[in-house]
Every structure is written in structure tokens, then in C-alpha cells.
Chain A
């Protein structure tokens, strides 16, 4: 039994819904109790889709359990096929239906509906959303792809073409990433054969084999399928994330290597100059914590460190499937990787590290709000406000521009930062007011820390209560507390922790102004 307050990922059948909803004329018949229909609102509300997800639920109730839930399933299949006339159906069960073992695959096949039936096993008690999406996409491709399409592959002298694998419904920026990546690939002289699952129909899946190679845009969702296509269809794949200027360059180089020919240049990004312009000096060495989907988090950490000159003080992911990439990234930045799906553990890590900026998910946005640390959302899970109306990709040249803007938006700008530090007691212009261009008020740092201090011990966690790093003895002198307030808010939390640690290590029971500055000198970077 795992105790959870919030979850980063839904159950695997939600992953299967993301595939069905992404595709055209593919219907998902889900054996599920009444109530599981809540999942529709993920798509209609969070992603603002203007149509119901193509999902029929059996919504069985307790009274049905005694009679024949299998019959209910079979009828649901027949009714859904008649009503929606899909080209193929995906059939599966949610967590409760898994327990009653009705075999949706067998029932749907027995219904004799004359269209392809794609059964998916979605083990709810061991797997999660990404796994469910990846597995469903893989099964869709295995059942529908037609090997004969290999004959349509461009010859060695023609233009090359690729499939883009991975984009799905409810994906973070997937809609815009596909547009940007399509543009990038055309610019370098590569045609797109099929994008899947987003926007793909049964016929599109059938002709996957006609591409020279595959691009795995999101490894969480597309890599299993790409590996199968590599094995069965002889299609190599590129999984380099085209994120950031270097990532995009590497992506193009990897394709050139794969095709063994030079490619046209990709469009340039504004990021290099924006980062070099002197206004960006203040970004140097900002301490940033990165957390999200593994592949994304690893790529974002590189952009932060190499393209904005931030210091990455922590990197992690919630999906264990991507732990390897994140460990490699952590090693590169000289930090400990944080692989966990327990958001309280993430909160504890952030509170401990006191970064100046968090690049994370919706969960970390809330953690940041509580701790008074600015946050930009770079990964799912995300709320409705992170599904923007404007074109806002994260990949390719435009993606690099978007990332630059997204990272610096929550921060106080350079000169403003200096003025705040110079005239600390200005009653109108002080750091508790937050960045002047961000209208909603910041939680004052003092207040934020109090909230954190009050709430965290009261929160529940699977891990045993941590023993605090500092001895319980040392207290702050009034003068030192006052002096601490003169330190800019974005490093104040760190200064407080450093001073406490320093006092504990050096046997000071009271933290005076002197101890505070000794600690500052001790930890000077």
C-alpha cells in the first residue's frame, strides 16, 4: 500500500485514453465502473478539447457484479461500433474491471464486429499512465501496421522521410512540438510520412513502413514502438531530444549521420544572443532545480546549465522508466538524481536545496508557491493554464526561444535585483512585492517559510520523519534575524540554512550577525 496525496501519473488506462483520443476514428471501449468517466474531463477541461474523448465506458454497478458484467461489455462494444462507426477499436479494463477478469479482448472479438480489435492489458496495480500510453500505442502499431508499406520507402537517391512517434492527447506542448518539428525536418530536407498517434488514423498506421526512419519525439510514449519497428521493419530511429540550441543541433547531426548525407541548415534560434546580451548577466549561476518527465527533465537541465549558465542544483523525474537518462544528467551536473513519484519527497528536497528557480510540473509550481520560490512549468502533469492558446513549442529553434522566455519570466530582472539589494527598506519597492512584471503577488518569503515549517511536519509521508540536519539548540539573535532580511529574498532561504548548518557544525548556540557573515564567507561560492 502506497500512501499518496497527489499523483504525478494517472492509472494506465488513462494512458490508453490518451492514445485513443489522439487518433482519428479509433474508439476505446473501457470496462470500468461508474465514476471512471471522470477521466473525460482531463481532455475536455484541462486540454480544452472540443469533443468528447472517443471512449465508451461500461459503468457497471454493484448490482451488475452478481449478474453478467461480460454481457454488459459485449453490448457496449456492439453499441459503440454501431453509433460511432470507428475504423478500429481498442479494448481494455480499468483497475476495478481488471479484478473481475472479464477478458475484454476475447469478448470484443467474439462480438464479430468486422473491424480490427486491439486488446490492451493495463495492469493497474503495478503500472502507470505513461506505461499504459506506450503499451497501447505499441499494440495499435503491432495490430495495424502493414509490412507491405516498406515497398513505398524512398530509394537511396530520393528525399528521405520519417515518422514522428510519441505525440499524444494531453501531452505537454505536443500540439506545438509537432508543428515545430515538422517545420524543422522540412527545412533540413526530410519529409514527414506519418505523425502518430496524434492525428493518425488506421490508414496512417498501416503505412508507417514507408518512412526511411523514425523520430522518437517523446521516449516515454514512442520508444517501445520505435524499437519494434527497427526490429521488424528495419527502420532506424533517432531519439535525441531536439530541445535547446545544442539539442536541436545534435538532433540534426544524428539524422545526418543516420542518412549518411549532409543536410540543409535548420533555422537559427534567438536564444544564443538573448543569453549573451549583457542584460542576461544576472542569470549567471542562478541555482535551479529541475523535475518532471525524465527525458524532458534531463534535456531541460542541459539547456539551463549550458545555454543560460544556470547552476543545476538538483534534477529528477517521477517516471522510473526514464531513471537512466536522469542519472546520467545528474552526473553531468554533479548532483544527486531524485527519482521518486512522492511529491512530499520532492518538496523536502526543494526545501533543503533552496533553489532560486524551479523548473518542474504543476506539483512543483505549488511547492514553489508554498516555499516562496519562483517556478516555470516545463513538464506534465500540468493544469489548464499550461495549455496556452499561443504557439508555444518546447522543441526546435522556436522551442529554444520559448524556453528562454519561460525560464526568465518568473525571475526578478537584473537591474531591479540590484536596486532591491541597495535600498532594502524602501516601503514601496521591496523584494516581498516580487518581480515588478509579474502581477500576482508573491508569497512573502518569511511567510512562505512559516507555512512550510508549519505544514511539512504535519504532512504525511512514506519516509520516516527526517532528523533535522541542524541541532535543535541554536537560535537566532534579533539582530541576526534583521540582518537576514537584508539579504535578497531569492537567496535568503539558502543563507538561513547555511547559517544554521554553520552554527551547528561550529558549536554556536546563538546565531549572531557575526555568525551569519562567517557562514557567508564559509560558503562563498
Chain B
């Protein structure tokens, strides 16, 4: 019996196999979400040779320093070129100004190998063409610096979609690999520690060569071609998957690597593509899987039977709800997601409890009404809503921690559960 089968046999809620599709509520109203620029907060630390230049307004710069909660003063590898009135007067001048700003930036930072020009709401609305600017500047600064562009604007992207757009630009610029030999590409920013753990596991499985997108060096993107098999480490990567597919790469469909079960299934997708012997697979994952199960057991005692409500934020909601429901016994009141990309979430949706209620998009006032009426034991929401809901007596988990914390893989399964137990334990302990 493989580990997966063992898992299906254990006392987790059964998968919705009887066609009890989740119900989906679609809403359109005020969306309480970040824009795609916010992804720079983690992307600029992940890629050590890249610099992100937002072409935007003072609001964009203000968002960047506020969203991170704390300002990162250790060498920020991002900045904002703030548009001023004269930049709005004529696009020719705006382009000239941009060239001037970039020249100066690059002159002062010779460690930059990849410069991302990041579009914003105002730059999109005034139709400042950053792809042409990137081409122009690339010609000027190659081979030392490659200039790429993407949009992180709020009118086009929600929170983690900014990473999707950034990685799409990187994948589009990756060299072409002509070899038919299989190689694995793990797509989606993960913490360095998670990357290292996955590398070890793939190596033990005999799956490889393995590359990560993004890797710690933006200038060293792996070649992409018909031999490329890719695994998504994050659920919000629709566009980059499109770019990879176009270049002949093949996606290995899998649930996402959250929790012991998700991680096993995710690794298994790669193992199967490499025809890894099932016994070897079980042998490699048995140790870390047992550790994850052990770490989850004590947390399950605290979470079993609790009721959770998710406000839409990062698109991580569905895989994490699946993990909470199947491995920790949490029941799901409503799982909100900014977008529901069915193709990538097919496996996840199948694993949700029968009749789970999902919501896509948002009308925050209506959703707050539903949340208050349901009185969840834990509410997963953004920073703007957390304190007001706590003040109303609800226990909350800020969703931004889910993208700022290493949560993928076996060794982090307990940490992921801990993110949900801590607010509950805290509320129980406080006697004031």
C-alpha cells in the first residue's frame, strides 16, 4: 500500500466523489484586497540580483512601505519612480524621464542583473508602454542588465497575481531548451528553506535535473522546452503556466504542497512522471511524512470541529481550506478567493468536502454580514479587516502571513497549522 492510499484510508473526511460539486457564489462590489505590486515585498528578497522599479504614483510607494507591515531597510531592491504632473503632460517626456531614472539607478547599483519595470494603475491609465520602454532600455544596457516589464496594477492584478505577471515575464525571457530529456521546473516563489528541502527530496527520488522559478538569481533562468515538466508550488500562476505551455513545457497536475497529504501528492506527480518505483517513493517520503503527521496531531486537537471562514486574498484559500478540512478536521463555512482558476485547482476542488461553499470575487460589506452571522471560530482575512473583527469578538488569522511564512512541504505542515492555532490559543489564554 502506498502512502497515498494509507492516507485515503485514515479518518479524514471523505473526498467529494459523489458529484456534490462545491457551490460557488460570484460577487461584484468593493474588493478589500491588495494590488499586484505587493508581491514585490517577497519577490525582491527572493531574487538577489533583481531590482523592481515601480512606475507609479505616491500611492504605490506608500502601499509598498505600508503593506509589508515593517519597512525593510536592509537594502531595499525596489523603488518607485513617482509620476509627477509634467510626466502626465507628455508621454515622450515621461519616457525620457524614465530612461534618465533607470540610467542613474543602474549606474549606482552595478549588482543589478535584471531590472523589472513594474506598471501601476496610473501608468496603465495614461498608457505608458513599459514593454517598449523595457525593450529600449534592454538594448541600451545588455548584456550587463536585462530589463523586463510586467504590470502589478490594481486594475489588472490582485495581490499574488503580481507574482504571476512577474514570473510570466521571466519565463518569457528564459532561454529555449531544445533537449527532449526531461527536466523539472518548480514554479512559484517559495522560501529558501522550502526550496532546499524540495531539492533534497527530488534528489533522493532520482527526479531531476530540478530548477526553480524564481530562483535566487533572476539572471539564471533555466532553459524551457519540450523536455520541461513543471510543478506549480503556488495556486495563483495561471499566466506563467500559459507561457510555459506555449513554449512546449508540460504541467504535472497535482494538488498543492500544503500539509502532509498535499505534499505527498505533489511529489508523487513528479515521481510518476519520472517513473519512480513506488517502493522507493514510499521509502523517501516515509520519514518526513511521519514527522509532518506527528506535528499535525497536537494541533488537530485544537482545531478539530472548529469552523473557518475565508475572505478572499491570495488565492491560497482553497488549498489551505482543503488542508484544514482534511488534515485538521476544520469545517468550512465559506472559502472566498479573488479568482477561481479551475484548471489548476481541479485536484483541490475534488478534495474539498462535499457541498463546500466557495465565493469568487467580493462585495466586502455583504461578505462581512455573512461572516458575522455565521460567527466562525476562525476568520482568515486581510489586515484591514482583522482588528475590527477581533474587536467584534471574532478570532482572526491575517492572511498575509500565509504568503510571508514558509508553509509548503512536510517540515512546514506543523507551522502552517500553528498559524491557525495560535490566535485560538491566544484568545483562550487571555483573561483580560
**Interface residue ranges, A against B (CB under 8 Å):** 1-7, 9-11, 13-14, 33-42, 44-46, 48-52, 56-62, 64-65, 76, 79, 83, 94-96, 99-100, 123-126, 128, 362, 366, 369-370, 383, 455, 457-461, 465
13 CB-based A-B contacts, threshold 8 Å: A3-B81, A11-B59, A14-B62, A34-B35, A35-B154, A38-B63, A38-B67, A41-B384, A59-B30, A61-B155, A96-B57, A458-B108, A458-B111
Interface string of B393-432 (1 = CB under 8 A from A): 0000000000000000000000000000000000000000
Whether the pair A2, B34 counts as a contact (CB closer than 8 A) is: no
Min distance, Cβ B77 to any Cβ of chain A, angstroms: 10
Whether the pair A126, B85 counts as a contact (CB closer than 8 A) is: yes
Whether the pair B35, A33 counts as a contact (CB closer than 8 A) is: yes
Min distance, Cβ B410 to any Cβ of chain A, angstroms: 32
- In the complex, A45 Cα to B401 Cα: how many Å? 14
User: Given A5-B79, A37-B33, A461-B108, does the pair A65, B385 have CB atoms closer than 8 Å?
Assistant: no
Within 8 A of A (CB), among B98-148: 98, 100-101, 104-105, 108-109, 111, 121-122, 124-126
Interface size class of B (residues with CB under 8 A): 35 or more
- A-side binding surface: helix, strand, loop or mixed? mixed
Contact of A51 among B61, B67, B383, B391 (CB under 8 A): B391
User: Given A49-B387, A83-B365, A369-B73, does the pair A6, B122 have CB atoms closer than 8 Å?
Assistant: no
Closest to B386 in A: A44
Within 8 A of A (CB), among B56-102: 57-59, 61-63, 65-67, 69-71, 73, 75-76, 78-85, 87-88, 94, 97-98, 100-101
Whether the pair B387, A45 counts as a contact (CB closer than 8 A) is: yes
- In the complex, A126 Cα to B88 Cα: how many Å? 11
Whether the pair A95, B155 counts as a contact (CB closer than 8 A) is: no
Instruction: Note all chain B residues with C-beta closer than 8 A to A1.
Output: 55, 81-84, 87, 94, 97-98, 100-101
Within 8 A of A (CB), among B308-346: none
Whether the pair A460, B108 counts as a contact (CB closer than 8 A) is: yes
Whether the pair B82, A4 counts as a contact (CB closer than 8 A) is: yes
Min distance, Cβ A388 to any Cβ of chain B, angstroms: 17
Whether the pair B58, A38 counts as a contact (CB closer than 8 A) is: no
- In the complex, A453 Cα to B84 Cα: how many Å? 32
B264 within 8 Å of A by Cβ? Answer: no
- In the complex, A34 Cα to B98 Cα: how many Å? 25
Whether the pair A5, B76 counts as a contact (CB closer than 8 A) is: yes
Instruction: Note all chain B residues with C-beta closer than 8 A to A6.
Output: 61, 65, 71, 76
User: Given A56-B30, A60-B155, A125-B84, does the pair A458, B65 have CB atoms closer than 8 Å?
Assistant: no
Min distance, Cβ B385 to any Cβ of chain A, angstroms: 7
- In the complex, A94 Cα to B98 Cα: how many Å? 23
Whether the pair A460, B31 counts as a contact (CB closer than 8 A) is: no
The 5 closest A-B pairs by CB, nearest first: A35-B35, A35-B154, A40-B384, A50-B391, A96-B121
Contact of A11 among B58, B105, B125, B385 (CB under 8 A): B58
User: Given A58-B30, A457-B108, does the pair A99, B126 have CB atoms closer than 8 Å?
Assistant: yes
